[in-house]
Amino acid sequence: MAQCNSWDRVYGGCVQTCVRKDNIKAESTGVRAAFFFPAGGAYKGYWLRNQHHRYGVKESDKHFIYDGQWRHGKRDGHGTMRYRLPKGTMERLYIGEWHDDMKWGEGKQFFRNGVYYGWWERNRRHGVGVMWYNNGAIYMGEWEADVKHGVGVLFYENGNRYEGHFARGFKNGEGTFYHMHTGQLQKGMWENDVCKASMVIDDFRNHVDRPTPYPIPELGLQSPDKFVCQLFQQYIGNAFNPTKSFNELKCLNFAHKMKSSTRLEPKTIPNSKFRFDIKLPCTCKKVEQMVHLNL
């Protein structure tokens, strides 16, 4: 029969691995109020056969704190990753879903240059997501391998907007650029953030604050659409095919809604200690009881 070889009166649980009388390592299963690792760090929560399982909080020796679900020793489910700063405050890093010890699914991460909310895969932004940058810019669209890739809308800090295709993090392919202060609409082909061929028209010149002194004259070509398509075909083979586009009103409403929700969760939060409230003492058997964590 296994028994605890050390008892912590502060936390009310064993702080070392449970051993058998013949010094053979026993399997730890159930609630462990506090387990301190020799290299630094601690874990508080549920175990299953010497592995973190179900719910628990783990702080590494480098002051990274994970609070959430575990599965067979790996982060799996909903969880929050924080970092403890030297002054005692804690900084939020990631809040969302995990799978196989990686960020995978829907989640939100705080970067140095902004906040991202959307889908993840293998610790990378992958799928549909929104990125709010600190300079005021907003990107809504598709991501792949942690960069903008696919169809998206980029709102610039000065009010301008680009709607179209992205590749490898840059504007690539067919897109439309809205010059909001001059009222001009620029449709063209882009390559690595550089417009290679475009057509500019005065779409809403009478409703802007800084219109150009003279309007752009209309095209005098007999078939302007055919000419533009032939010009665009130098950069894309299917210029005649329709492309996907976002609904502008839905994009703006969703962006403003998500931006307001992120403001309610600041990146830095006051310091707090982890404390478990466990009624029963620590055992080496599976304990079916609730664990309350005060953050």
Question: What structural domains and CATH numbers belong to the chain?
Answer: 1-89+270-295 (no CATH), 90-269 (2.20.110.10)
Distance between CA atoms of residues 57 and 34, nearest Å:
10
Q: Count of CB atoms within 10 A of residue 123's CB?
A: 13
Distance between CA atoms of residues 242 and 87, nearest Å:
55
Closest to 260 in 3D by CA, of 79, 138, 105, 127: 138
* pLDDT for 16: 39
Q: Which amino acid is at 248?
A: E
Please state which of the ranges 24-33, 84-93, 173-182, 255-264 shows the lowest mean pLDDT: 255-264
Distance between CA atoms of residues 233 and 100, nearest Å:
44
**DSSP3 helix / strand / coil % (the chain, rounded to 5):** 10, 45, 45
35-63 burial: b if 16+ Cβ within 10 Å, else e: beeeeebbbbbbbbeeebbebbbbbbeee
On the question of pLDDT at 261 being above 60, the answer is no
Q: What is the DSSP letter of 8?
A: B
Question: Which residues on neighbouring strands pair with residue 14, listed in sequence order?
Answer: none
**Beta strands, E only, the chain:** 30-36, 42-48, 51-59, 64-71, 74-84, 90-99, 102-111, 114-121, 124-133, 138-144, 147-155, 161-167, 170-179, 184-191, 194-202, 268-269
On the question of pLDDT at 15 being above 70, the answer is no
**259 vs 190, which has greater pLDDT?**
190
**264 vs 68, which has greater pLDDT?**
68
Average pLDDT (9-38) is 55
Please state which of the ranges 47-56, 73-82, 285-294 shows the lowest mean pLDDT: 285-294
Q: Which amino acid is at 104?
A: W
Residue with tokens 């301190």: 36
**292 vs 148, which has greater pLDDT?**
148
* pLDDT for 274: 43
On the question of pLDDT at 10 being above 60, the answer is no
On the question of pLDDT at 175 being above 50, the answer is yes
Confidence of residue 207 (pLDDT cuts 50, 70, 90): confident
Average pLDDT (124-130) is 94
Distance between CA atoms of residues 231 and 187, nearest Å:
12
